[in-house]
Structure 1
């Protein structure tokens, strides 16, 4: 699709870029915010105590709605597309796997560092002020719930060069091995009752979905007849019925999220087929200047919106409680009608925050001439520092201890990833950073 003639001067669309991927990524982020806005209910009971609940999850239709609303598999699919195109671009520029991994880790660690620092300060102040520990625990756990993504996506990014090679040489065998491994992990998990075993599927499930993104980047789904895509999507969705009734898995796809389970792989297959079927319509939408303007504006702030929307939502509710503002009883008609303006307010506030944090989402700068990235040892240590605290939050829930750990470890990871060393060949051209602005809008 040609976009040069209709693209505003301020928006440059690189050749070959799939704007539908940008649209899908923005849709996923905005839907996540909407779901969380409907999931957080805060009110004051008859005794004057603050109570919190989850109105959306209390609805009888909620489990079935997650078959459409659980879009994290699609998020990892478009992330796989982004990774494939970014890795191909990095290789064309002469960057190696270390350069690429360094750049991808920075894209995660820099935005997350600011959030962890702010949350550590906020939790420390709340603790010192004597806020009810039980209420603080509920709030902190909710605020930290999106951090699992940083751990899962970080793991997949570390393995992109390896998985891309496997996709290029043995695509179907790779997918098959990942499916078998995920099934075995779930079998052990549900057979033994040891939920922690399922954490292995942070790799197997999300790597499988990422491989679907690699296949999408290769054009597999464009080449597949539309009738076949429709049949595969229908079969995938239909297979969720026996999996969640006769099988051990929940019919609630949110419950299947952490640790991730096999149904999410099935959901990922269905979602990429649906996206491919809708591609012609969505491509026409993205040929309009208005759609591109919105998608690029939101997409360039994607990580900020994702990481900050829950802290800002809780802050808004806290201010309303403090000043005695209107707080409709959760699950009432009034409460449901106020979700749209609350959603718009939270999105607006995250955009304001992005004015101060925008530099954290920019691609890493190229090193000065004669310098190159730090050693693999430094990148490995930085990876542990960047992924460890979010993994701990995913497993244990956010509290003051792991908030402080994140506020220390992630900035340290950023520092390690920013170090450089003399190039082995002082006369050679400087190595470019793994990510460039042309690849930036496709990153998760």
Structure 2
């Protein structure tokens, strides 16, 4: 399936006039991206047993725990780190033409630099990823939840369909901020439904 998937992907790029860059094929999602998803799923299925064996070792578990505790920071900040380092390189260092031998030779150094910058950022932002104790759980109403989800999905679909530019970036920021405020800072909240048997077993809350 992996070989067939790569063959299908190659034919789509060559004959279907799709971009060879899967990053470009994300906006809007195209058939090559679907073929790539099948390839990745088949590859993960093939590697399931060896990866499971590796994950039973303590070093692998420690690395996954370390990265997992900073995963959202890595996801959110790796692009700004790449842009920052690219700008620094353009200002002070000669930039080889993309795809040339000199460009490929510079990639390992660039990747290490990106990892160091992202790691430095994650040391500051990791506290926001740590779970906070909830003393009295409170939840937004159903109507507020629907509005927040609609705002978040709307801007995500707009960016996926039309690409990321400044107006859509601002739209995404505004919609996401409103959704976060609605779900996290709304005064119109209700306590979650608790079965009567569970409620009777719970100790009374301190006054």
State the distance in 1 between where 2:192 and 2:53 align. 46
- Structure 2's unaligned 5+ residue stretches are 200-207
State the distance in 2 between where 1:293 and 1:373 align. 34
2:79 to 310, 325, 336: 310
Question: Does residue 1 of structure 2 align to residue 235 of structure 1?
Answer: no
State the distance in 1 between where 2:83 and 2:10 align. 36
1:417 to 179, 183, 206: 183
Report the counterpart of residue 330 of structure 1 in structure 2.
97
Secondary structure of 1:256 counterpart = helix
Report the counterpart of residue 287 of structure 1 in structure 2.
56
Residues 42-78 of structure 1: CA distance to partner in whole angstroms, max 9, x if unpaired? xxxxxxxxxxxxxxxxxxxxxxxxxxxxxxxxxxxxx
State the distance in 1 between where 2:140 and 2:51 align. 42
Report the counterpart of residue 342 of structure 1 in structure 2.
110
TM-score relative to the length of structure 2: 0.72
- Closer, same or farther in 2 for the Cα pair 1:321/1:252, shift >3 Å? closer
2:129 to 356, 361, 371: 361
Question: Does residue 40 of structure 2 align to residue 265 of structure 1?
Answer: no
1:238 Cα deviation after fit = 3.5
1:363 Cα deviation after fit = 5.1
Residues 375-397 of structure 1: CA distance to partner in whole angstroms, max 9, x if unpaired? 22211211233234444444253
1:276 Cα deviation after fit = 1.6
Report the counterpart of residue 203 of structure 2 in structure 1.
none
Secondary structure of 2:97 counterpart = coil
1:278 to 39, 47, 62: 47
Are 1:389 and 1:402, in contact at CA under 8 Å, matched by a contact in 2?
Answer: yes
Are 2:28 and 2:163, in contact at CA under 8 Å, matched by a contact in 1?
Answer: no
Are 1:312 and 1:350, in contact at CA under 8 Å, matched by a contact in 2?
Answer: yes
Are 2:89 and 2:95, in contact at CA under 8 Å, matched by a contact in 1?
Answer: no
Residues 356-383 of structure 1: CA distance to partner in whole angstroms, max 9, x if unpaired? 2224434576571xx5421222112112
- Closer, same or farther in 2 for the Cα pair 1:406/1:285, shift >3 Å? same
Relative contact order: is structure 1 or structure 2 higher (C-alpha 8 Å, sep ≥ 6)? 1
2:119 to 351, 364, 368: 351
Report the counterpart of residue 373 of structure 1 in structure 2.
139
1:298 to 67, 89, 92: 67
Report the counterpart of residue 148 of structure 2 in structure 1.
382
- Closer, same or farther in 2 for the Cα pair 1:329/1:256, shift >3 Å? closer
Higher alpha-carbon deviation: 329-338 or 346-355: 329-338
Output aligned runs, 1:66-215, within 5 Å: none
Please give the root-mean-square deviation of Cα atoms over the aligned residues, in Å.
Answer: 3.2
State the distance in 2 between where 1:328 and 1:242 align. 33
- Closer, same or farther in 2 for the Cα pair 1:290/1:423, shift >3 Å? closer
State the distance in 1 between where 2:9 and 2:82 align. 33
Are 1:249 and 1:263, in contact at CA under 8 Å, matched by a contact in 2?
Answer: no
Report the counterpart of residue 204 of structure 2 in structure 1.
none
State the distance in 2 between where 1:396 and 1:381 align. 24
1:403 Cα deviation after fit = 3.9
